[in-house]
Amino acid sequence: MVTQKVTEILNRMLTLQADEITGAARYERSGSRKAYRAGHYERDLTLKGRENGGEGAQAQGAVFESAVIERYRRREESVEEALIDMYLAGVSTRRVDDISQALWGERMPSQTLSDQLKKVYAQIDQWRERPLSQSYPYVFMDGVWHKRSWGGAVENVSVLVAIGIGMDGHREVIGVAEGMEEDTQSWRSFVSSLISRGLTGVRMVTGDRCAGLVSAIGELLPEARYQRCMVHFMRNVLARVSPRHTRWAGDALKAIFAMESREAALAKAETVATEMEARKLKEAARCLREGIGETTTYLLADYPREHRRRLRTNNMIERLNREIRRRTRVVGAFPDGRSALMLISARIRYVTGND
């Protein structure tokens, strides 16, 4: 009964709009007529509830365009939005097709879904290239690796992501771009694009130990200091520790980063490195001495004590990367860089709720 009534209402609305376009009702003789009716055609329109039938009027001498049902549209917009949301949430195109069949009794081929996603991708490009309207004292950067077809082979390439903490205290994804192999040129191009969009006021950049990133920050953001991710640094040191000393080394490293000042942390690190050498862990001691300076930047007096715990790791962006990888694993290998960049950007917007 509901389906019948919805169909009757739709057809009545289409008839009234046809009267408005032609300038006369059906079978009415009028000198002010603008066009003539030329029959109608049947169209199925998929709504939230199920498929409904509609009669689209045809006019001779004018193009019939209705606000009720867009020209050539066969699905209600909310249905298409629901399918796109499923795709961005991690459902493969094949599963979207199956779910569409189960819910609405109509299949949605992958090509149709791809055509609909092009509209979303246009919005994503606008979001990626939007001007940055405020200062971002703290910025976190990292690369998300994925598989991509390249010259007939499948290789690992990256997409670079940056999260900024604005003066209002809120975090925001401020940059997403192709990074290829995360070399110096890729990072330089990425940071340059952020600056051209209005990135200012950066006091600290937190990231993993990537030579290209460190070089780009020193060249393009000379007023910002670099903070090496504490978690990644500890993993690098512990990778050089034998299993017999792993627990001791882990506790010793935690003690270093529990210090209240940078001077105390550096002194503690030297004590731990000396003890490592005594335990014949020379490689671990060398790694600790080389990296402890850039890993304790957050302890400088320039940074408020209440900010330090969040600044010393890249966990903020790592959590986002896990959500991205959860989606890219469904795809496997991307056919090109554009498709990878768009899907990852769409996933970031979906997860973070950015407009």
Question: Which tens digit of pLDDT belongs to each residue from 95-105?
Answer: 777 776 776 56
Residue 76 confidence (pLDDT): 47
Instruction: Tell me how far apart the terminal alpha carbons of the chain are, to the nearest angstrom.
Output: 39
Q: Is residue 66 part of a domain?
A: no
By DSSP bridging, strand 36-46 and strand 51-60 are antiparallel
Q: Looking at per-residue confidence, does 169 or 70 come out higher?
A: 169
Together in a domain, 273 and 162:
yes
Q: Is residue 303 part of a domain?
A: yes
Domain residues for 42?
2-60
Q: Is residue 71 part of a domain?
A: no
Together in a domain, 196 and 334:
yes
Q: What is the pLDDT of residues 236-259, one digit of tens each?
A: 999 999 999 999 999 999 999 999
> What tokens appear for 65 in the block?
């365009």
Q: What is the pLDDT of residues 329-347, one digit of tens each?
A: 777 777 777 878 888 888 8
Q: Is residue 13 part of a domain?
A: yes
Q: Is residue 99 part of a domain?
A: yes
Find, among 143, 147, 180, the residue nearest to 162 by Cα.
Answer: 143
Q: Is residue 26 part of a domain?
A: yes
Together in a domain, 208 and 292:
yes
Mean pLDDT of 206-223: 89
Q: What is the pLDDT of residues 289-298, one digit of tens each?
A: 999 999 999 9
Find, among 143, 175, 152, 167, the residue nearest to 321 by Cα.
Answer: 143
Together in a domain, 311 and 173:
yes
Rg (CA), the chain: 29
Distance, in Å, from the CA atom of 94 to the CA atom of 113, rounded to the nearest integer, reads 10
Together in a domain, 106 and 38:
no
pLDDT tops 70 at residue 11: yes
**Burial, 12: exposed, middle or buried (Cβ in 10 Å; 0-12, 13-18, 19+)?**
exposed
Q: What percent of the chain has pLDDT over 70?
A: 74
Together in a domain, 287 and 180:
yes
Q: Is residue 314 part of a domain?
A: yes
Do residues 239 and 250 lie in contact, with contact meaning Cβ atoms separated by under 8 Å?
A: no
Together in a domain, 101 and 120:
yes
Low-confidence winner among 177-186, 326-335, 341-350 (lowest mean pLDDT): 326-335
pLDDT tops 50 at residue 64: no
Q: Is residue 302 part of a domain?
A: yes
Residue 152 confidence (pLDDT): 72
Find, among 9, 97, 99, the residue nearest to 45 by Cα.
Answer: 9
Q: Using CA atoms in the order 18, 24, 25, 29, what is the torsion angle rounded to 10 degrees?
A: -150
Residue 47 confidence (pLDDT): 52
Together in a domain, 85 and 51:
no
Together in a domain, 45 and 95:
no
Residue 45 confidence (pLDDT): 54
Residue 72: pLDDT band with limits 50, 70, 90: very low
Distances (CA, A) of 191 to 194, 197, 199, 316, 331: 5, 10, 9, 19, 28
Q: pTM for the complete prediction? A: 0.72
Together in a domain, 45 and 81:
no
Together in a domain, 295 and 185:
yes
Together in a domain, 151 and 96:
no
Other CB atoms within 10 Å distance of the CB of residue 237: 26
Residue 75: pLDDT band with limits 50, 70, 90: very low
> What tokens appear for 117 in the block?
């996603």
Q: Residue 214 phi/psi, 5° resolution?
A: -60, -45
Residue 187 confidence (pLDDT): 92
Q: Using CA atoms in the order 334, 336, 339, 343, what is the torsion angle rounded to 10 degrees?
A: 40
Residue 56: pLDDT band with limits 50, 70, 90: very low
pLDDT tops 80 at residue 123: yes
Q: How many structural domains compose the chain?
A: 3
Q: Looking at per-residue confidence, does 233 or 17 come out higher?
A: 233
